[in-house]
Amino acid sequence: MKILSIETSCDETAVTLLEIDGPLDKPDIKVLGNTLLSQVALHEQYGGVYPTLAKREHIKNLPVLLEKTLHEAGCVMTNDQYPIPKELDFIAVTAGPGLEPALWAGITFAAELGKRWDKPVVPVNHMEGHIWSVLYTEPKISNDEFLISKKLELPALALLVSGGHTELVLVKDFGHYQILGRTLDDAVGEAFDKAARMLGLSYPGGPKLSKLASISRGKKGSLDFKLPSPMLHSGDLNFSFSGLKTAVLYKLRDAKRDDEEFKEDMARAFEDAAVAALAGKTRTALENLGDEIKTLIVAGGVSANTRLISELGKMLRSFPALAFRTPARMLTTDNAVMIGIAAYVSVVKRPELLKGGEISAEGNLTYL
Ligand code: KG4
Ligand code: ZN
C-alpha cells in the first residue's frame, strides 16, 4: 500500500510518503519521501508549546513539506502542481491525542488533499503511531542491505514515554489495546523539561539534563543525596511526576548552591528517580502479566534516554524470554513515518476505514 501520512499533534510538522506491504508483525516498509520541521526554536522562548502558535506554523509548513516529500519521492511537477503520487492508496492523518488547534491544521490539510486527489483520509491515533514505530528497522549505513528484523511477537507491553504522555499499554493484538497505567499529572518528558528549566537549560531540556547527569556519573561513583522515586510503591501501575519536580525545586532552594557540579548532581538525582519509577512500574506490570507477554516495547521521545534503556535492559535480565523493541533513533520523537505505519495496521485490521468520512481532532483521544 502507498500511504501519504501527516503529523501535526504538537510542535513537529511532518509529511511522509511510504510504501508498506507484508504481514503486520514484519512489514516491508519503504520510506519514499520524508520531511519534518520542528518548531522547537520558536517555542523555546516561551518555555513550552503554544497551541495557537503551533497551529499557525503547521498551516504555513504543510504545503512546503508536502512539496519536498513528493520531490524526494521522485514525483515531477506539471503546471506548477504536483500530481497525485502514482498508485497512492490513501492519506493518513493524526486525529489525536494532542493539541486540538495543532491537530486541526493537519486534519484540514489532509481533507483538502483527499478531495483534490479523490483519495480517502484515514484518522490515526498518535499513541498507536508511537507503538508501531518499532516495526520500522533502519537500513544498514554501509550498504543497501536491510537489517533482518525478527517478527514482532504479541501480546506486548508498551511503555510510552513522551512530552505529552506516560502510559503502560497492554497490546493484546494489532488494533487491541488496554491502558494499564498512566501518569496522574505531568508526563515524564514534561517533568524532564521542567526540571531542566529549573537548572537553567532551554526547552526541550530533557536531553540536555540527561547529558549533565552522565557528566556527574563520570565524575563520581555515587551521590550523597537522593530524590524520591514517585509512586514506586503505590500498588498500581500509575505514574506521577509533579512531586519529583517539586522535590527538585526545594532541593535547589535549600542547598543554596548553583555551581555546575551541583547542577550535574541534581540532574543525575532527577534522572535516577524518574527512570527508577518507569523501570519499577514496568517490572511490576511484567510480573503481573506473567508469561503471556512476549515483547516489551518502549517508545516516544524519552525512549531516546540512554539511562532508561540501560536500566530497562538490566531489569529484563529477570525476563530472559522477553524480546525488547525500541524505535530507530529518528523515530523516537514525533514523526509521520510512524503515523503511516499505524495507519497501515489500522487499515489491514479495519478495511472499512478506507470508506473515508469526517474526521475531528480529539485532544484526549484514547485507544479505540
Ligand atoms: O514523543 P515526543 O517527541 O513528543 C511528544 O509526543 O510529546 O517527546 C518529546 C519529549 C520532550 O519532553 C523531550 O525533552 C523528551 O521527549 N526527550 C528526552 C530525551 N530526548 C527527548 N527526555 C529525556 N532524555 C532524553 N534523551
Ligand atoms: Zn508523541
Average pLDDT score over residue span 300-327: 96
In this structure, the residues whose C-beta lies within 6 A of any atom of ligand 1 are 10, 162-164, 189-190, 192-193, 204, 206-207, 210, 300-302, 304-305, 333-334
Q: Is 81 a residue whose pLDDT tops 90?
A: no
pLDDT score at 145: 45
Alpha carbon of 217 to ligand 2 centroid (Å): 29
Query: Going by CA atoms, what residue is nearest to atom 14 of ligand 1?
Result: 206
| pLDDT-based confidence at residue 144 (cuts at 50, 70, 90) | very low
Q: Is 289 a residue whose pLDDT tops 80?
A: yes
Secondary structure in 3-state letters for 116-151: HHCCCEEEEEHHHHHHHHHHCCCECCCCCCECCCCC
The closest of 122, 65, 70, 62 to 92, measured between CA atoms, is 122
Q: What are 327-348's pLDDT values in tens digits?
A: 998 999 999 999 999 999 999 9
Average pLDDT score over residue span 311-333: 94
What is the average pLDDT value for the chain, to the nearest integer?
93
Q: Is-same-fold flag (2-136+330-355; 153-326)?
A: yes
- Ligand 1 atom with the shortest distance to the CA of 130: 1
Per-residue exposure over 37-69, b if at least 16 CB sit within 10 Å of its own CB, e if not: bbbeeebeeeeebbbebbbbbbbebbeebbbbb
Alpha carbon of 100 to ligand 2 centroid (Å): 14
Query: Going by CA atoms, what residue is nearest to atom 7 of ligand 1?
Result: 163
| pLDDT-based confidence at residue 46 (cuts at 50, 70, 90) | confident
Alpha carbon of 162 to ligand 1 centroid (Å): 5
- Ligand 1 atom with the shortest distance to the CA of 164: 7
Domain ranges of the chain: 2-136+330-355, 153-326
Alpha carbon of 36 to ligand 1 centroid (Å): 16
Q: What are 233-253's pLDDT values in tens digits?
A: 888 999 999 999 999 999 999
The pick from 333, 334, 365 for probing ligand 1's pocket by mutation, whose C-beta has the most ligand atoms within 8 angstroms, reads 333
**Does domain 2-136+330-355 match CATH 1.10.10.10?**
no
Average pLDDT score over residue span 302-323: 96
| pLDDT-based confidence at residue 138 (cuts at 50, 70, 90) | low
Q: Is 31 a residue whose pLDDT tops 90?
A: yes
| pLDDT-based confidence at residue 161 (cuts at 50, 70, 90) | very high
Q: pTM score, two decimals?
A: 0.94
**CATH number of this structure's domain 153-326:** 3.30.420.40
Grid cell in block for residue 164: 505529552
Query: Going by CA atoms, what residue is nearest to atom 1 of ligand 1?
Result: 301
